[in-house]
Amino acid sequence: MSRIGVFVCHCGLNIAKTVRVSELAQFAATLPDVVVAKDYKFMCSTPGQEMIANDIKEHRLDRVIVTACSPLMHEQTFRKVLSASGLNQYLLTIVNIREQVSWVTHDIDEGTAKSKALLNGAVNRARLLAPLTSRVIDVNPDVMVVGGGIAGIQAALELANTGRKVYLVEKNSTIGGHMAQFDKTFPTLDCSACILTPKMDSVMQNKNITLMTSCEVSEVKGYVGNFDITVKQKARYVDHDKCNACLACTEKCPGKGVSEWDEGLVKRKAIYIPFPQAVPQKPIIDRDACTYFIKGKCRLCEKVCEQKAIDFEQQDTFSTMKVGAVIVATGYDLMDTKPLVQYGYGKYPGVYNALEVERLFNSAGPTGGKVTMRDGKEPQAIAILHCIGSRDKNNYEHCSRVCCMYSLKFAHLFKEKTSADVYQFYIDMRAAGKGYEEFYNRIIEEDVKFIRGKGARVAESADEPGRLIVEAEDTITGKFIKLPVDMVVLSPAMKPRADSKDLARLFNLSTDKYGFFMERHPKLAPLSTMSEGIFIAGVCQSPKDIPDTVAQANGAAAEALTIVVKDKMELEATTAMVNPASCCGCQNCVRVCPYGAPFFKEDKGVSEINEALCKGCGLCASVCPSSAIIARHFTNEQVLAEMEGLMEF
Amino acid sequence: MSQTVTPFLEMSQAIMEAGGEALKKCYQCGTCSGTCPWTPITHFNIRKLVRYGQLGLDGIEEFMWGCSTCKFCVDRCPRGVELIDIVTAIRNVYSGGGMLPQSLRAFVGSMSARGNPWSGDQAKRNDWAKDQYPLYAPGTEYLFWTCCTVCYDPRNTKLAKATAEILKLSGVSWGIPSVEVNCCGESLKKVGDLELFDRLKSANRDYFKANQVSKIITVSPHCLAAFKKDYGEDYEVLHFSELIARLVQEGKLSPKKDLGGVKVTYHDPCYLGRHSGVYDAPRDVLRSIPGVEFVEMERSREQSMCCGGGGGGLWMEKLKGERLSDLRIEEAMATGATVLATACPYCITMFEDSARTLNVDEQIKIKDVTELFLESLGINIDEPVVDTCAL
Amino acid sequence: MATSFKQIEENLKTEAGKLLDAGKVSMVLAYGRGYDEKHPLPYVARSLADVDGMVFNEYCTANLARYLVRYPRGTKIGIAAKAADSRAVIQLIQEDKVKRDDLVILGIPVYGMKNAKTDEAIDAKTTCGLYNPVIYDVLLGEEVHGQPVLSPYEVLEKVEAMGQDERFAFWKKELDRCIRCYACRKACPMCYCDPCFIDQNKPKWGEKSPETGGNLMYHLTRFHHLAGRCIDCGECSRACPVDIPLYLFHKKVAKECEEMFGQAAGMSIDEKPALINFRVEDSDKILE
Amino acid sequence: MLKKTTVQKLSDLAAGLMEKGALIAPVREEAGHNFREISDPAAVDLDFYNTLLSPKSVFFPHTEDFIRYKTGASIAEAVCVEPDIRPTVLFGVRPCDVKSFEIMDIHFTGTGKVDPYWAKRREAATIFGYAFDPNTPADPADFYSTLGIGAADPEGSDVFMIRKDQDLLLQAVSPKGEKLLSELPSLSDASADDQKYFDGTVAAGRTFKTRFTCVEAEPIAKKFEDLFHNAAFWEKVSEACLSCGACTFVCPTCYCFDICDETLFSQGTRRRVWDSCMFTDFTLEASGHNPRTKVYQRLRQKISHKYSYHIRKYGPISCVGCGRCTRNCPVNIDIFSIVNEAMKA
Amino acid sequence: MSFEPKILGIACNWCTYTGADLAGTTRLQYPQNLRVVRVMCSSRINPSFIFKAFQLGADGVLVGGCHPGDCHYNTGNLYARRRLAVTKKILEFSGMEPGRFRVEWISASEGNKFAEVVREFTEEIRNLGPQTKFKIS
């Protein structure tokens, strides 16, 4: 037998206008197990809360029903009242007679009748509620950061500076990411390397950071506070513990690989460091380019290495880290513009993509910072085409956000380094950001030509062989433009890393249709994910510029810290559990759970649920044929009883 | 002319209601107009047309007839705007007010009175066949849908016969429709007469139903696109080039006669290519013919140029210098080809006119892929062609 | 030409004998003599001596896969399996109730199995219409070819053609007969829950008394639990003492599942049961 | 008193009986014949071997409501359900099934505690027994003669019926039967030939053989006591058993039941529902403990109860050899084969 | 008196229940025949809930969940879609009118759609009349 108290709120006239609240309270009093039923003007007010608290004591209530607004409004408020009165907070039931009754009808008879039915269901359900308690678990204080671009570097440094131990996992042989490829950064035009490399060095120097380059995450187990993450160390064929970074090997190496850092514009050695400021500044061997691996002999590097650091037998190795939280900051790729045949990328040597152009400007780049094209000539006329694949239903619907600004930056650098005429073909100029509009104005004054119309086609000039024709409509005059240029720069869409969906699977993240990681809430939880304890930062979430990326990285670091700063944490109480006596061992629960919470105990032939991983959705309970799974707070009995109550009147 | 305009949103609304719903999606980036083959050579500007439509501005009627519905812009549009629907809707709204250009009046009149665009006598629709070919009856597998143009236009009756002859050899069960059928109405729809289009469509559908038609072969890509997109029932529709390609692949038809090293280029009809996604079948057919050296033009497949005959263009006069077909002929000749092959009676008509007015009709021949294929089968149906276009 | 029942029986004895003799399995599930010819009994041979007791004839309809879950995980078992039975084995492997490696499947290609009560052939009527086992290690006869290819769903025509009211009346009449002996679920190779949902008091899904409400709840829910898992062996209906044509409902659900999800139960050990699986591309049309 | 009618005029007899009260008789149904209350006299059908379900449900229905109550209300407000008991004619019961009533009486009335539902129904009923035909072989599943029951035993019936070609001979056995027979105008008096035929058939029924030979109860009871701990024996004989309840629900002498509370909204009913010792949860205790989790334990219980405990406690074997359990077993387990096996073990 | 159907709604907490709240916040009017049970996810819905609801006398049952792809628990509604589709087929084959059971994806921002669906569904059930087939009397 329960002792139920029912408290009907008027919400001023919000409810009372279309529900006869006193009649409802009287009705409640007739229901089995209801020992007190009252109505009051504002139940959520202090006197209202006090009334409930007093009645809990006076009538020794063991269940409380508040008949008021949506549980999404005040469930927490009234739960606190119960807690404060010594009653388990889960013994509260809210009946939503405002949003779902009084506000959606004008008819007081209908409103009252529906309220009675809902209340009757609530009484049925309340009777079966059980007190629930949250479990407390230990939290591992370390953090893993996946991705060593500017976002990952920033987050790792922030966390390390608070004294946390950080594992920074980078797929490539150096950290730095795309930012290391840039020459200047908009709108201030400061040198990218100058602001990035000190940070890269700090990572190297920081004793709290374990830098793991040429590494990939291969398995993720566990849950918030207690992740076990297995990382694959890819074979480098150079023992970095022995290597003293003399780089004699790279000089002697006859192998030729394609420089990723220079976007394939030049070759590099088979044993190499990606660029002079790489961190760590120790070489690796590119198996596909190495003469020894291809032809079976050479080993010149081995001969010149005094440290005996070359190890052709090296294998991939795996190690498992224990961490409490994870930040994923895996960045982006540029979309491949070759399939957009109308722009001739890959067909005409004069067509470049944005990252290639970044390298052309860079003094450490393939041309030593001079703007010369593949044929060695300096361009006389240059067209920069915006929105290639961005804002495009046929490719990527999103605006890549940074292209307008870097295109302006390109225009400036072209003006600075060449005497070429520079044209921008754009749809809308997006310069929202601190100092951005000012930068736009500055570029306008540098006499860059702006053509408002999306580049439609790039063709070879019939009259001047080797030159290119850009076709577009200048929508301002309505005239069709055929512009002869020497160089075309495409500003392609930014897309998530090709393996972002694999990573999403590993970490149980959801992605949008292109593979950008989904945040838990676009506004209120932009750095959290649906997986507790895993945060995202930078372009892997959506395209953004460096300032925003850095801000996100700091934010993600702070979020991760809120978890690992405590040594204990409380878990969801409304989780599922298995009644082993009823479990038939079908493992449906194991197969369906998106969080991997249920697992099968082979020896007992039954499933169990790791409550730390359970989010309480109840899917397992509904796929359990023998009803062995109890979805706490939404048990089969509770739902059935509520349904029966709702259908009675 | 006053430079002040006032947006007239009722008109914009009317366009949207007539099927131009996509108006509102356009953000005026200019991809369409930059892509449109007309922009460089005429005053027609598809982006402006949409802009005028968005605001319901006066003057729209001045350039609404410029579009030949080649679908290039639709495929490129980053917003997924169905520009052809907008053009059709605008034409529907404005031509409802009697703004049909002179050259289209005969076209629409003939459609209305005789059910075909060529002022042909309906009873004589099948005269080209001279009773040599079977009529479709329930139980037959394929309906060979003869386009009005191949029934009435003397140049194109050759195409009808070529097709029929190949069908005779193919071993499939087929028949031509009786004379009671109407034009598929595709061009009529693009001209904006949606009401008349619906009338023709439902009459044809009644014929299909009465005769239990489920599989249709068309010779014109325009009919193909109409049946696929507008007729709304589950017919299996094939372009004839697809059927030949299949029969060749299955070994049921094999070209024998060597055409002696003739250099052929192929023009993708907009309605076969971009509208229906058929690019490979006609090329496969050409490649199957012995003694054909096949060359591509610079703009081919998805990038193909338009002949200008779609969207009612076939029936509209264009000034010299404003004809896409002239440009296309030049492009074809630049490849060194002596035969420009295509797979659409409209394209054939447009190109033959251009070749004649450009005085190159000796240097380059215009042929349908079907005709070339028939030649390679060693069959000659050439008869003296009397140019007595009914128009 | 199919192998004769007598020959299959001989082959069964030979192969079972070999397996037991070589110690490859600790038991062979097969058929043994019942109280008369028409009533053979599921039979377990644990030694070479037991093999002699085996029989096989047209009345050996029982689906022996039902017994697999009774033995401890890891028991090496030989099992005689006809077409539908082999599908049950596959389905149990999919559900990880048995391991493929623990089984030696003695496949029986056969047609013309009969219902002992009616003496009718059951091939596609109450079972799935296949003649040859889908999976086996040893085949106890030649594969059956040349028999008519029967759709297992043809028998549905009559019930599918009924209007909603008529169909409800039909099922009400059939299900009201139910005496809740649970032979259906006990004969079912896929019903291995213990306790069954209907046996529970918390929650009480349906009443235990054999009346309309509880009967409907029991059967409808069971149809759902078997959706995408029922391999159409027809055992539930054959087991039913009051002859409720449960197979019709199961077949209908199986047919719908095949149409909606593009997979049939028990056809491949690499699949997941359709209802504990999804595809992002699943159409909302299936809800219409 | 021997009366007669013809099979053709069976419906007249049925109509006459219906005037006396409820008539429960075999009718043809999809799955076989069953006893049903008759509303159309033409529905009575004596062309059957034996009914699918036993007639025990006439006196001991599958569900029996005891009390009704309102949830949340005081127990004092609960209302007893008065069973609807009317004079009844139970028509066409085979001798083995008639015998089953006698065994069931032990439990429902014979042990001192009288079950009023059973007792009142039994009292209100007049039983028309119906002989098997001793000239045709018995169903292979039957073994009533093995248990000493004749194919045409009038004992236990109020009226006993024997089919003679197209005639139906009706012999009053009890005063209740005699009274009823005399009140049925559709019957005519039987001839001396008929009487001879009737007596002959009863006698032939006594020597009629079903399968197996006659058994003595005592040695069986003893044997099963000895076998109780022989798990190997029970595991072997239960290997095929599915542990469904088909055998117990069709059995005329199984009488186990469960008391259930069924509620809908705030209306509750406490009722008696048949249960089966073959079900896993039959012996499930409130603590969660279950003494019979294995199939063999349950089968051992069922068979030992019928062939051993019952003999020890009440005398007779709790089985009448009607063969229903064997006929309806989904896997063709034959109870008497197990008894034979046990005797050999 | 005209027939007032009883409709049981089962709504997921994150989308449809919130959408229903939004319908209230924006004061959209809809019929009062629907009584909603809140569950955390549409995947929580056991098919037997639906059968039970009809036995309890529901004239119609409406299930609401997040749009596929938007599930708060990633994939819950994708399982639910399959399971409820089968539930629907079973109801239909048992003889229940197909219109009495409906599944709708209603997001937290679709208060309008919620109200519209309730209006439409209530009307449909009203036209179908009282549900007597499953109802236990």
CA distance E82 to chain A (A): 12
CA distance A425 to chain B (A): 10
Q: What is the pLDDT of residues B29-84, one digit of tens each?
A: 999 999 999 999 998 999 999 999 999 888 888 888 999 999 999 999 999 999 99
Contacts of A194 (CB under 8 A, 6+ apart): none
CA distance C212 to chain E (A): 8
For the residues E122-130, what does the mean pLDDT come to?
96
Q: What is the pLDDT of residues A335-385, one digit of tens each?
A: 999 999 999 999 999 999 999 999 999 998 999 999 999 999 999 999 999
Task: Examine the domain organization and report whether D260 and D159 are in the same domain.
Answer: no
Task: Examine the domain organization and report whether D49 and D123 are in the same domain.
Answer: yes
- So what's the pLDDT on residue B275? 95
- So what's the pLDDT on residue C118? 85
d(CA D165, CA D181): 21
Kindly state whether residue E87 falls inside one of the protein's structural domains: yes
Average pLDDT of chain A, as a whole number: 94
Q: Rounded to 5 degrees, what are φ and ψ at A284?
A: -135, 165
For the residues A66-81, what does the mean pLDDT come to?
93
CB contact under 8 A, D332 and C182: no
d(CA B144, CA A277): 71
Task: Examine the domain organization and report whether D183 and D285 are in the same domain.
Answer: no
For A201, A281, A294, A312, D41, the CA distances from A239, given in Å and listed in that order, are 20, 13, 21, 10, 100
d(CA D96, CA D321): 7
Kindly state whether residue E136 falls inside one of the protein's structural domains: no
Kindly state whether residue E75 falls inside one of the protein's structural domains: yes
CB contact under 8 A, B33 and A457: no
Task: Examine the domain organization and report whether D36 and D176 are in the same domain.
Answer: yes
Higher pLDDT, C25 or A135: C25
Question: For chain A, how big is the Rg over CA atoms in Å?
Answer: 32
d(CA D262, CA D282): 18
Say which residue the tokens 């060695």 belong to: A376
* Cβ-based contacts under 8 A for chains A and D: 12
- The CA-to-CA distance between both ends of chain C, in Å, stands at 46
CB contact under 8 A, C282 and E78: yes
Residue D93, strand partner residues: D129
d(CA B128, CA B156): 10
Domains along the sequence of chain A with CATH: 4-132 (3.40.50), 143-223+323-331+497-564 (3.50.50.60), 248-304 (no CATH), 335-494 (3.50.50.60), 576-632 (3.30.70.20)
Task: Examine the domain organization and report whether D105 and D27 are in the same domain.
Answer: yes
CA A400 to chain centre: 16
For the residues A466-471, what does the mean pLDDT come to?
94
- HSE-CB of A71 using CA atoms within 13 angstroms: 16
d(CA B28, CA D116): 91
Kindly state whether residue D232 falls inside one of the protein's structural domains: yes
Residues of C with CB under 8 A from a CB of D: 34-36, 39-44, 62, 66, 70, 116, 177, 179-183, 185-187, 194-195, 199, 207-211, 235, 238-243
Kindly state whether residue E45 falls inside one of the protein's structural domains: yes
Last residue of a domain, one of D143, D175, D207: D207
- So what's the pLDDT on residue C119? 86
Q: Which of residues 355-414 of A touch E (CB under 8 A)?
A: none
SS3 B53: helix
Contacts of B69 (CB under 8 A, 6+ apart): B84, B87, B88, B190, B270, B310, B311
Please name the amino acid found at residue D212: F
CA distance B33 to chain A (A): 6
Task: Give D141's contacts in chain C (Cβ within 8 Å).
Answer: 35
DSSP state of A347: T
Task: Write the secondary structure of B342-391 as one string of H (helix), E (strand) and C (coil).
Answer: ECCHHHHHHHHHHHHHCCCCCCCEEEEHHHHHHHHCCCCCCCCCCCCCCC
Q: What is the pLDDT of residues B212-251, one digit of tens each?
A: 898 999 999 999 999 999 997 778 999 999 999 999 998 8
Quote the number of domains for chain D: 2
CB contact under 8 A, B30 and A454: yes
Kindly state whether residue C148 falls inside one of the protein's structural domains: no
For the residues B355-363, what does the mean pLDDT come to?
92
Last residue of a domain, one of C139, C163, C183: C139
Q: Rounded to 5 degrees, what are φ and ψ at D314?
A: -125, -10
Q: What is the pLDDT of residues D237-277, one digit of tens each?
A: 999 999 999 999 999 999 999 999 999 998 999 999 999 99
When CB atoms are compared, the residue of D71, D264, D288 closest to A32 is: D71
When CB atoms are compared, the residue of C43, C183, C194 closest to D280 is: C194
CA C97 to chain centre: 15
- So what's the pLDDT on residue A332? 97
- So what's the pLDDT on residue E71? 85
- pLDDT exceeds 50 at position D193: yes
When CB atoms are compared, the residue of C213, C223, C287 closest to E55 is: C213
Task: Give D265's contacts in chain A (Cβ within 8 Å).
Answer: 644, 647-648
Residue of A355, A462, A397, B54 whose CA lies nearest to A471? A462
Kindly state whether residue D158 falls inside one of the protein's structural domains: yes
- pLDDT exceeds 80 at position B390: no
* Cβ-based contacts under 8 A for chains A and B: 67
Task: Give D268's contacts in chain C (Cβ within 8 Å).
Answer: none
Task: Examine the domain organization and report whether C122 and C176 are in the same domain.
Answer: no
Q: Tell me if there are at least 3 CB pairs under 8 Å linking chains D and A.
A: yes
When CB atoms are compared, the residue of C73, C96, C195 closest to A587 is: C96
Task: Examine the domain organization and report whether C133 and C160 are in the same domain.
Answer: no
When CB atoms are compared, the residue of E6, E17, E24 closest to A103 is: E24
Contacts of A162 (CB under 8 A, 6+ apart): A561
Last residue of a domain, one of D175, D207, D239: D207
d(CA A33, CA D160): 59
Where helices occur in B239-323 by DSSP H, the ranges are: 240-249, 280-288
What is the band of B178 on the pLDDT scale with cuts at 50, 70, 90? very high
Task: Examine the domain organization and report whether D227 and D92 are in the same domain.
Answer: no
Give me the domain span that covers residue C85: 5-139
Tokens of B296: 């591509």
- So what's the pLDDT on residue B374? 93
Task: Give C210's contacts in chain D (Cβ within 8 Å).
Answer: 62-63, 273
d(CA A469, CA A342): 11
Beta strands in A277-380 (DSSP E): 284-285, 317-323, 325-328, 332-334, 351-353
Task: Examine the domain organization and report whether C279 and C162 are in the same domain.
Answer: yes
Q: Which chains have at least 3 CB atom pairs separated by less than 8 Å from chain A?
A: B, C, D, E
CB contact under 8 A, A584 and C194: yes
- So what's the pLDDT on residue A508? 79
d(CA B63, CA B58): 11
Beta strands in chain D (DSSP E): 2-6, 22-29, 32-37, 63-70, 79-80, 88-93, 125-130, 159-164, 167-172, 188-189, 257-264, 267-274
Quote the number of domains for chain E: 1
Q: What is the pLDDT of residues B247-302, one digit of tens each?
A: 999 888 888 889 888 999 999 999 999 999 999 999 999 999 999 999 999 899 99
Buried b (16+ CB within 10 A) or exposed e, C270-282: ebebbbbbbeeeb
d(CA A491, CA A358): 11
d(CA A428, CA A431): 9
- So what's the pLDDT on residue B391? 38
Give me the domain span that covers residue D183: 2-54+84-207
d(CA C106, CA E103): 45
Tokens of B220: 């014109």
Kindly state whether residue C53 falls inside one of the protein's structural domains: yes
Kindly state whether residue D151 falls inside one of the protein's structural domains: yes
Task: Examine the domain organization and report whether C105 and C158 are in the same domain.
Answer: no
- So what's the pLDDT on residue C241? 94
Higher pLDDT, B69 or B154: B69
- So what's the pLDDT on residue D252? 96
- Helix, strand, coil share of chain D (percent; to 5): 40, 20, 40
CA distance E74 to chain C (A): 11
Task: Examine the domain organization and report whether D33 and D156 are in the same domain.
Answer: yes
Task: Give A636's contacts in chain C (Cβ within 8 Å).
Answer: 203, 205
Q: Which of residues 29-88 of B touch A (CB under 8 A)?
A: 29-31, 33-35, 39-40, 45, 47-48, 75-80
Tokens of A436: 């951005």
d(CA C278, CA E42): 14
Task: Examine the domain organization and report whether D281 and D257 are in the same domain.
Answer: yes
| Domain at E93, CATH number | 3.40.50.960
Residue of C185, C242, C245, C243 whose CA lies nearest to C218? C185
SS3 D155: coil
CB contact under 8 A, D265 and A33: no
Q: Which of residues 549-588 of A touch E (CB under 8 A)?
A: 574
d(CA D97, CA D251): 10
Each of the 288 residues of chain C gets a pLDDT tens digit; together they read 478 999 999 999 999 999 999 999 999 999 999 998 999 999 999 999 999 999 999 999 999 999 999 999 999 999 999 999 999 999 999 999 999 999 999 999 998 899 888 888 887 788 888 999 999 999 999 888 877 778 889 999 999 999 999 999 999 999 999 999 999 999 999 999 988 999 988 889 999 899 999 999 999 999 999 999 999 999 999 999 999 999 999 999 999 999 999 999 999 999 999 999 998 889 899 988
Please name the amino acid found at residue A12: G
| C203 close to A642: Cβ distance less than 8 angstroms | no
CB contact under 8 A, A454 and B80: no
Q: What is the pLDDT of residues A244-290, one digit of tens each?
A: 999 999 999 999 999 999 999 999 999 999 999 999 999 999 999 99
Kindly state whether residue C13 falls inside one of the protein's structural domains: yes
For B6, B55, B59, E104, the CA distances from B3, given in Å and listed in that order, are 10, 15, 12, 52
Q: Number of helices (H) and strands (E), helices first, in chain B? A: 17, 8
Q: What is the pTM of this model?
A: 0.69
- pLDDT exceeds 50 at position B158: yes
For the residues A71-78, what does the mean pLDDT come to?
91
Residue of D306, D328, D325, D304 whose CA lies nearest to D317? D306
DSSP state of A522: T
CB contact under 8 A, E44 and A619: yes
Q: Tell me if there are at least 3 CB pairs under 8 Å linking chains C and A.
A: yes
Q: What is the pLDDT of residues D313-335, one digit of tens each?
A: 999 999 999 999 999 999 999 99
Task: Examine the domain organization and report whether C211 and C251 are in the same domain.
Answer: yes
Give me the domain span that covers residue E77: 7-128
Task: Examine the domain organization and report whether D129 and D236 are in the same domain.
Answer: no
Task: Examine the domain organization and report whether D226 and D123 are in the same domain.
Answer: no
Last residue of a domain, one of D154, D184, D207: D207
- So what's the pLDDT on residue D44? 94
Residue D248: in which H helix or E strand, if any?
A: helix D246-250
- pLDDT exceeds 80 at position B9: yes
Task: Examine the domain organization and report whether D116 and D221 are in the same domain.
Answer: no
For the residues A500-525, what does the mean pLDDT come to?
85
For the residues A594-607, what does the mean pLDDT come to?
90
Q: Does A594 touch chain C (CB under 8 A)?
A: no
Q: What residue in E sits closest to A120 (Cα-Cα)?
A: E35
When CB atoms are compared, the residue of E21, E53, E75 closest to A643 is: E53
d(CA A578, CA A600): 11
CB contact under 8 A, C210 and D239: no
When CB atoms are compared, the residue of A70, A594, A636 closest to E73 is: A594
CA E2 to chain centre: 22
Q: Does A628 touch chain E (CB under 8 A)?
A: no
Domains along the sequence of chain B with CATH: 9-95 (1.10.1060.10), 102-246 (3.40.50.1860), 254-376 (3.40.50)
Please name the amino acid found at residue E7: I
For A114, A459, A472, B338, the CA distances from A462, given in Å and listed in that order, are 78, 9, 17, 22
d(CA A35, CA A63): 10
Q: Rounded to 5 degrees, what are φ and ψ at B217?
A: -110, 130
Residue of A568, A616, A576, A633 whose CA lies nearest to A599? A576
Kindly state whether residue D329 falls inside one of the protein's structural domains: yes
Q: Tell me if there are at least 3 CB pairs under 8 Å linking chains E and B.
A: no
- So what's the pLDDT on residue E1? 59
Quote the number of domains for chain C: 2
Average pLDDT of chain E, as a whole number: 94
Residue B175, strand partner residues: B143
